[in-house]
Chains A and B, each alone.
Chain A
């Protein structure tokens, strides 16, 4: 429908130079290559509302937010790094196996979350804990997942830390393989459109610029644009895929340049400017729903933290580079300065908030580390629904037999069993 203007122009020109049988492409007689998607052949611009010190940039329209909303945004932007810092240290102490921080991407993640409806379906990569926080997934729930204890509602302690999931919060369970969620999101969007009850919702899919190199990225955007389906793709371009800088990840103009290739509305936004992210994602969401078709947002940011606790990024980037970025372009500080300029925030409140969040996180941490894991029998559940196949039944019985034989006498097993709820007796006492 919205291609008609181009089509008619093409037809008009073809009066002189002929037509192609299966395309509206206008025929021209001069040989000309192109490698840009912008009209002037330049780099795709980045949308920004607030400058580095929180002042509105010239001509920018501030998205409509009131003080309570702004305070909620800021609190979540602070909660995210508070959790990250504690969980990072907890891993370093050997209490959990893994963590991935969102340091530097707080505005991208919280801003996107705030621009979506609470019941839009979210398919994340693994660095989107902030979306869950915005939706009210509790600090306890975060801690319980990261400790894999009996109250880990995300996955019964089966997955590594930060692999959250919560149908109640419309947040699909994280999978470690990269980009697999991107085509899922296209299907989720299509299913939403087909359900009367959910047809006002969209699917929102997060991924990094590295994951966008996987075949699944192309498959997902292709399907959501062609079928089509109301799916909003949010690329977090934080500059690094583990050690690989984005300059080695792609030769083109970031991820945004690919959107027009699929014929979809696309925008690049300053991911460190939470108000710009909100404005861009709100508009993108609106278009996704109205058109019933994919829309792409590329949020430009910088991964201040290491890739994960398994990574030391100073093996491949300068410490000073990271420190400079933290100092010069801090998304939290930028928004705080704006809040202060509006009279919505001050130093006292800052101190109170930080103390309260730290106390909340430490309380949840203490509780989570004191809880046992799920029952050991959960090792064998949820492989299939319905009738359980013989092999699973027999293997559960085999482990049960072994536990009865060695579970008490063999100290390494006894110690390990002690970490589970009911110490393995859910199996052995049946």
Chain B
């Protein structure tokens, strides 16, 4: 044992005390609270940027046009997630003649409406239905990308990406390496709807991002909101690597923001801190971002039913909420920096625990932050069973499970 080796690097931010409460109040004095309490849902989430001003201040936003850097002339429009996907695809098709969009049922708009009107606008030669073959779709897209084109392919559900696994893991991920850098499929983007909706059962609820973690050469991205979708999807399309872009399907209609109408990108490989805090790092991606937001409210201002389980002393804890966004490669620097500051890490994902993405992050964080950790890294995940239809509410980690994990980790 060499104790000197275990001294952590200096943290860049000071630890903050428990004294500043998490500033958000939803309870109304005038009327009795509803059974579940006044808690945020996706529809009224404060994380969603519903004004032009907040939209244009999106962290890391980079305009991709000739106009001045100033944001004062920029316009925004109200969009949900499927409209933001469509907007990004439309920009990609407009600006890049080599871009094509294809997949099962996409010509009439797609089963989630993400490609509405694109076939009419850009023609069936650039926006087209494919026969029902995921391995074919991925392989075809790889072929186009090998020729320097920009295929943007859709796999109808992430649950159905497995026939394409060979093409993605053995081909897309490895082509640059095996050809000594002479060939690549950087133009390739695979979009696919992911995660649960509450009634999908085994094959419409899965979160298969973890299966791609070992496929170096691929990038995996999961956005949380319309602004993020548009910026990250345009980055994914233009990134010089093949990217699997997983869209949380429950957010297609429910998450609404003011989205800048111009062409912009958001950085891949970078996590985003949504709420700053100094006592615990809460890390997640996709749909559970909103369950985490609810859990923060429960911790700070618990509804009467939960109050007995949430010690007064922990209610002012400052939780740092981070959206990982890029799953592969993931932003180890940002997570390390945060955990070195807070000393506690809770990871939330919908996929099962064993070999989920949380396992990789937990292993790396305990190596990098070992002496700074005040509690074991906690994973709040789906169970190691398939996603069972009638049991789904007790399978998917919800806000109560998250707040319980926060209390356990804070009190450790």
**A interface with B by C-beta (< 8 Å):** 97-98, 148, 156-160, 163, 175-178, 210-211, 213-216, 241-244, 248-250, 310-311, 315-316, 373-374, 376, 378-380, 383, 389, 391-392, 395, 399, 402, 405-406, 409-413, 416, 419
Contacts and interface: CB of A to CB of B under 8 A. Distances in A.
B308 interface: yes
A154 to B, nearest CB: 11
A131 to B, nearest CB: 21
B131 A250 contact: yes
A380 B163 contact: no
Given A148-B389, A160-B389, A379 B132 contact: no
Interface string B26-52: 000000000110000000000000000
Interface stretch (B212-220, B273-281, B393-401): B393-401
B137 to A, nearest CB: 10
A388 to B, nearest CB: 11
17 contacts: A97-B199, A157-B388, A157-B391, A160-B201, A178-B132, A216-B163, A241-B105, A243-B107, A248-B129, A310-B111, A315-B108, A391-B354, A395-B353, A395-B383, A395-B384, A406-B309, A411-B36
Contacts of A210: 131-132
A220 to B, nearest CB: 13
Nearest to A417: B394
Contact of B104 (A242, A250, A412, A413): A242
B305 interface: yes
Nearest to B113: A315
- Closest 7 interchain pairs by CB? A176-B203, A157-B390, A213-B131, A97-B199, A158-B388, A316-B108, A379-B391
B228 to A, nearest CB: 26
B274 to A, nearest CB: 24
B160 interface: yes
Nearest to A372: B390
B200 interface: yes
Contact of A379 (B159, B309, B388): B388
A373 B390 contact: yes
Contacts of A148: 389-390
Given A157-B388, A177-B203, A412-B36, A213 B133 contact: yes
B135 interface: yes
A177 B160 contact: yes
A315 B105 CA distance: 11
B394 A379 contact: yes
B354 A378 contact: no
Contacts of A379: 383, 385, 388, 391, 394-395
Contacts of A405: 309, 404
B247 to A, nearest CB: 17
A175, A248, A419 interface centre (most CB from chain B within 10 Å): A248
A409 B308 contact: yes
Nearest to A383: B385
A144 to B, nearest CB: 12
Given A176-B159, A177-B160, A158 B131 contact: no
Nearest to B36: A412
B190 to A, nearest CB: 17
B204 interface: yes
B201 A158 contact: yes
Contact of A158 (B353, B390, B400): B390
B386 interface: yes
Given A373-B390, A379-B391, A409-B306, A391 B132 contact: no
B136 interface: yes
Given A214-B132, A241-B105, A379-B394, 18 more contacts: A97-B201, A160-B204, A176-B159, A176-B203, A214-B163, A243-B105, A243-B129, A244-B129, A244-B132, A249-B132, A250-B131, A311-B111, A379-B395, A391-B353, A392-B384, A399-B383, A406-B404, A409-B308
Given A214-B163, A243-B107, A411 B394 contact: no
Nearest to B112: A310
A249 B132 CA distance: 7
A158 B392 CA distance: 9
A402 B404 contact: yes
A380 B131 contact: no
Contacts of B200: 160
Nearest to B391: A379
Nearest to B387: A158
B135 A215 contact: yes
A242 B199 contact: no
A380 B383 contact: yes
Given A310-B111, A410-B305, A159 B389 contact: yes
A406 B389 contact: no
Nearest to B133: A213
Nearest to B205: A160
A376 B159 contact: no
A412 B107 CA distance: 40
Interface in B278-309: 305-306, 308-309
Nearest to B308: A409
Contacts of A216: 163
Given A378-B391, A406-B400, A242 B105 contact: yes
A291 B45 CA distance: 64
Contacts of B389: 97, 148, 157-160
A364 B371 CA distance: 62
Interface string B100-114: 000011011101000
Contacts of B129: 243-244, 248
Contact of B386 (A158, A376, A411, A413): A158
Nearest to A249: B131
Given A391-B384, A395-B383, A406-B400, A175 B390 contact: no
A373 B394 CA distance: 13
Nearest to A148: B390
A380 B388 CA distance: 9
Contacts of A177: 159-160, 162-163, 203
Contacts of B147: none
B384 A383 contact: yes
A150 B133 CA distance: 36
